[in-house]
Structure 1
Amino acid sequence: MNTYQLEIACFNLESALIAQSNGADRIELCANMQAGGTTPDPETVKAARKQLHIPLYVMIRPRGGDFVYSDAEFEQMKSEILQFKTIQPDGFVFGILNADGNINKPKNEALIALANPLPCTFHRAFDVVGDVFRSLEDIIDCGFKTILTSGQAQDVMQGLAVLTTLSEKAGNRITIMPGGGLRSSNCRALKAKTNTGFYHSSAITDGSETANGDEVKRLKENLQ
């Protein structure tokens, strides 16, 4: 594989526009960086849709914390997907677990059905599942197209061994997208080992919540 693409996690509209203008291939739009990303405001999504010409994926996550959701939170996720579909994003990002740390297949499948025909990414809820390789198969069975993961580690370099094995086991059935501590300084080493098609970073380098355009540019250059 020699076409490597870069997704930038953006917590505001400014980041999305910076990422686009510096070569990002896709935007994951969310809110609340401190919580690890939650569902963004509909007005932000509308504004992003108007100004972006690259693909826009929207996070569906009602709150921070764990990924085991109440019935009310699940209903909220369903209604958000239907609401956001009217804005015409290019995909969605979510993930629901059972209390035992396994994938909640019925609920994830229900959200994928609502999102159809838009592709869905299973987000870093994957990094707290109990059985990595069983969960990989469950997520493929649900119909997700991508898994965003650090390899269950603090960052992608610490999770390199798991990421490499996941990529091998996934084959062409699903895209393993390394994310979590991915920077221009380590993406070449990661690419050499995992050789997967998509890489994910916030490209934030200064403690703010806004992407650094130069870092986006360097990430993209180092992935070529």
Structure 2
Amino acid sequence: MALLEICCYSLACAVTAQSAGADRIELCSAPAEGGLTPSAGTLKAVRAQVSVPVHPIVRPRGGDFCYSASEFAIMLEDIALIRDLGYSGLVTGILTEDGEVDMPRMRQIMAVAESMAVTFHRAFDMCANPFNAMDKLRELGVARVLTSGQQASAEKGISKIAELIAHSDAPIIMAGAGVRLSNLDKFIAQGVKELHSSAGKQVPSAMRYRNPGVSMSADADADEYSRYCVDGEAVAAMKAALATAS
């Protein structure tokens, strides 16, 4: 049966995903940025309360994946913290100015990560040559690649995902971005063995008093009175569908 990884942005989401049957959790903060490094407090709480494998993301900011020296130094410190807390894996990725895998920095990451399984995240979808990148990631010993097939969604990039799977059996190719119950069968038909989904929903804030004239967001259209949460029913339905397909 294909493995289901759920992207979680809080301890509560991680607990919900685990209860609903998630095989693995990617732990992040900042959903509006596409996932940033979780806080130390979140890392400690999830490590204490969640028993399924959890792989925190190490991404110091939003935007591209070409980092300054100070950003990279912080990433190494975060990886060391995650390692020392006893996590089984992490999720990260670094590119050069020319859209290639930054091999010298990734070698440093692999050394600090020690025995943790490293997933190269969707920085892969921004690289110039995905097949060359796959060969480099295999050389590094990266465990898996999270990819949408270099398209806006994994469903749109499904043909490239199938090509990547055929290119090599390592690293594992995990399809992510827009993976949901309604399209699981398409990925299974292409031989995808690991799937990544947010399985999310927006939940209204508990705030009763709301000041419409003040915003904490630079995005004028942001709804600051709703919260992203994992939908446990969606996770359970996806797991049931994967079991049926197997």
TM-score by length of 1: 0.95
Q: Which amino acid aligns with 1:216?
A: V
Corresponding position of 1:190: 187
Runs of 4+ more than 3 Å apart: 205-208
Query: Per-residue displacement from partner, 1:35-77 (whole Å, max 9, x unpaired)?
Result: 1101000111111111111001010000000000001111101
CA shift for structure 1 position 139: 1.1
Structural mapping, 1:9-88, within 5 Å:
9-88=7-86
- The answer as to 2:165 corresponding to 1:167 is yes
Higher RCO (C-alpha under 8 Å, 6+ residues apart): 1
Two-structure CA RMSD over aligned residues (Å): 1.1
Give the 3-state SS of the residue equivalent to 1:121 in structure 2.
Answer: strand
Q: For this pair of structures, how many residues does the alignment match?
A: 220
Query: Per-residue displacement from partner, 1:159-190 (whole Å, max 9, x unpaired)?
Result: 0100000011122x211000000001101111
Query: Per-residue displacement from partner, 1:55-104 (whole Å, max 9, x unpaired)?
Result: 01010000000000001111101111111222111101000000100110
Q: Percent identity?
A: 37
CA shift for structure 1 position 119: 0.7
CA shift for structure 1 position 157: 0.8
Corresponding position of 1:121: 119
Larger Rg, first or second structure (1 or 2): 2
Contact 1:8 1:201 (8 Å CA) reproduced: yes
Aligned counterparts of 1:134 and 1:84: Cα–Cα separation in 2: 29
Contact 1:109 1:143 (8 Å CA) reproduced: no
Query: Per-residue displacement from partner, 1:10-53 (whole Å, max 9, x unpaired)?
Result: 01111101100000000110100111101000111111111111
Corresponding position of 1:178: 175
CA shift for structure 1 position 205: 3.6
Give the 3-state SS of the residue equivalent to 2:91 in structure 1.
Answer: strand
Structure 1 unmatched ranges of 5 or more:
none
Contact 1:183 1:203 (8 Å CA) reproduced: yes
Aligned counterparts of 2:50 and 2:149: Cα–Cα separation in 1: 30
Corresponding position of 2:217: none
Give the 3-state SS of the residue equivalent to 1:135 in structure 2.
Answer: helix
Aligned counterparts of 1:190 and 1:220: Cα–Cα separation in 2: 14
Aligned counterparts of 2:198 and 2:13: Cα–Cα separation in 1: 9
Q: Which amino acid aligns with 2:175?
A: P
Q: Which amino acid aligns with 2:69?
A: D
Aligned counterparts of 1:118 and 1:63: Cα–Cα separation in 2: 22
The more displaced of 104-113 and 204-213 is: 204-213
Aligned counterparts of 1:62 and 1:205: Cα–Cα separation in 2: 25
Q: Which amino acid aligns with 1:177?
A: M
